[in-house]
A and B are shown apart, each in its own frame.
Chain A
Amino acid sequence: GAVVSQHPSWVICKSGTSVKIECRSLDFQATTMFWYRQFPKQSLMLMATSNEGSKATYEQGVEKDKFLINHASLTLSTLTVTSAHPEDSSFYICSAPDGFGNSPLHFGNGTRLTVT
């Protein structure tokens, strides 16, 4: 079945540094990927839509200069958290439809970011 892979699965960084998270579709091409954020004991909140070959679309309240998204190829989207602060500590999850229209969205296993 369709698989979405995220890397790293967890990362600890110091305040003020930047962190890059990768999301790959392993056996299908994804022109669109979605990035979610999940705080402890809360639901997933959509941050942005990553579009291959064009700019990402950000949800209201999400700073595009802080959360840089690059959809470099049909199988890879990256989310870079720039100048990270402790309040950015969260679980970041990506998803991708496999392009066959009537299929469910596949999620990666998430990246736990801890900013110290």
Chain B
Amino acid sequence: GESVGLHLPTLSVQEGDNSIINCAYSNSASDYFIWYKQESGKGPQFIIDIRSNMDKRQGQRVTVLLNKTVKHLSLQIAATQPGDSAVYFCAENLPLGAGGTSYGKLTFGQGTILTVHP
């Protein structure tokens, strides 16, 4: 299943399917991007990150793709499991100042609710 940017904040898939969650970020100066998973009543949990000098990064069952031309970020989850059900946020980091990158001030996307049906 695939969500279409921030206009469809809910994604439902069957267990075992691959999921694709999309995000459009706002600032072309952002140099670092993170995907977070948030379960109900908890803080965001880091999933995977990517720097602006890369266009793809893979983790365990997850892949993040970055397209700077159109300011688009996606998270692919392979073999989605019921435990993956949560809200997923992309976040972009703006450099805090000149002389290199500092990490901190994140701007979060709207979020996508992923529901995985057994």
Contacts and interface: CB of A to CB of B under 8 A. Distances in A.
B61 interface: no
Interface in A74-116: 93, 95, 97, 101, 103-110, 112
Interface size, A (range): 20 to 34
Contacts of A68: none
Interface size, B (range): 10 to 19
Interface stretch (B14-22, B36-44, B68-76, B78-86): B36-44
30 contacts: A6-B43, A32-B104, A34-B104, A34-B105, A34-B106, A43-B110, A43-B111, A44-B44, A44-B89, A45-B108, A46-B106, A46-B107, A49-B104, A49-B105, A93-B43, A93-B44, A95-B44, A95-B106, A103-B103, A105-B46, A105-B104, A105-B106, A107-B36, A107-B44, A107-B45, A107-B46, A109-B42, A109-B43, A110-B41, A110-B42
Nearest to B44: A107
Interface of A is mostly: strand
Nearest to B34: A104
Given A93-B44, A108-B43, A110-B42, A44 B108 contact: yes
A105 B34 contact: yes
Nearest to B89: A43
B46 A106 contact: yes
B109 interface: yes
Contacts of B49: 104
Interface string B93-115: 00000000001111111110000
A45 B110 CA distance: 10
Contact of B108 (A4, A43, A103, A108): A43
A36 to B, nearest CB: 8
Given A107-B44, A107-B45, 5 more contacts: A44-B106, A45-B108, A46-B106, A97-B104, A104-B46
Interface string B34-65: 10100001111110010000000000000000
B43 A107 contact: yes
A43 B109 contact: yes
A112 B42 CA distance: 10
